[in-house]
Amino acid sequence: MVEFYGTAVSSRLMLGTAQYPSPAILADAFQRSKAGIATVSVRREAGSDQAGADFWALIKELGVAILPNTAGCHSAREAITTAQMARELFDTDWIKLEVIGHTDTLQPDPFALVEAAKALCADGFKVFPYTTEDLILADKLLDAGCEVLMPWGAPIGSGLGLSNIYGLRTLRAQFPDVPMVVDAGLGLPSQAAHAMELGFDAVLLNTAVAKAGDPAAMAEGFAGAVQAGRLAFEADPMEPRDMAAPSTPVIGKAFLS
């Protein structure tokens, strides 16, 4: 079990809901992944008069916790407005805060992110900020009132895995008690397992599953990897060493070959 803002979630895998070939395949992927949380974008789908309501109804039917996101927002103001709309639509004070600073890399804008996080936390939101692995930025987000951090593995949709392992490890070590979710950039289950082995509390991904040839199978693959990685972390893995470590003593052997 992992807790976010006091809510226990059974699965350490979170899935996005964009770019699947169809809602039916999306539902299959969720079923096989046993993901506990679904993120949903609202900025573009909202339109006027709740035009996205049909799709959102399908997401609600998945029976998992919903974490609306502010994907597609490029300023603090836009993100705040979108969060307020999401709160109405999904009847939740959770918000995955994305403020994009660069359209090509989809890198977060750290300054606008902190500004929006401050305003939303003050307004009673439970903010899940999509951030880089930067320590100072993490500190400012916690100061702003965030109780969860979502550092990126690599740029959104890139499938590159963990591009700065040192940075992620440092971030984890610096804030050992803050729930952290590696969000974005994962392409393969092995990369998700790696993130979990580093001690992150969960992973969030979308493209790696949605754009796979068989999204439901890939979702199940990620679920297994997340579980394996978490078990390994909890099991306190051995330390690597340069020399072989024979499992039977060499000196004093009764018989020399």
DSSP state of 14: E
Q: Smallest distance from the beta carbon of 29 to another protein, in angstroms?
A: 13
Q: Report d(CA 2, CA 11) in Å as an integer.
A: 8
Question: 33 or 41, CB closer to another protein?
Answer: 41
- Residue 63 is a binding residue for another protein (CB under 8 A): no
Q: What is the CA radius of gyration of the chain?
A: 20
Catalytic positions are 96
Q: Which of 2, 5, 34, 55 binds another protein (CB under 8 A)?
A: 55
Is residue 182 classed as helix, strand or coil in its secondary structure? strand
Question: In angstroms, what is the minimal distance from the CB of 134 to another protein?
Answer: 25
Task: Confirm or reject binding of residue 88 to another protein (CB under 8 A).
Answer: no
The response to whether 157 counts as a known ligand-binding position is: yes
For the record, the structure tokens of 63 come out as 């029976």
* Residue 170 is labelled as binding a ligand: no
Q: Which amino acid is at 57?
A: A
Closest CA to 76 of 121, 41, 112: 112
185 marked ligand binding residue: yes
- Amino acid found at 216: A
Binders of another protein in range 131-160 (CB under 8 A): 157
In the list 52, 145, 199, 224, the residue contacting another protein (rule: CB under 8 A) is 52
Instruction: Determine the interface stretch with another protein among 17-25, 86-94, 135-143, 181-189 (rule: CB under 8 A).
Output: 17-25
Q: Give the three-class secondary structure for 108.
A: strand
Question: Which is nearer to another protein, 4 or 56 (by Cβ)?
Answer: 56
Regarding 21 and contact with another protein (CB under 8 A), the answer is yes
Q: What angle do CA 53, 131, 215 make, to 5 degrees?
A: 50
Residue 158 CB, shortest distance to another protein, in Å, is 9
By CB under 8 A, the residues from 67 to 86 that bind another protein are 72
Candidate segments 8-16, 42-50, 164-172, 227-235, binder of another protein by CB under 8 A:
42-50
Give the residue ranges of DSSP H helices in 73-186: 76-90, 110-122, 135-144, 165-174
* Interaction of residue 23 with another protein, rule CB under 8 A: yes
In our burial notation (b when 16+ CB lie closer than 10 A, e otherwise), range 213-250 reads: eebbebbbbbbebbbbbbeebeeeeeeeeeeeeeeeee
Which residues of the shown chain bind another protein in the complex (CB under 8 A)? 21-25, 27, 44-49, 51-55, 58, 72, 157, 207, 211, 213
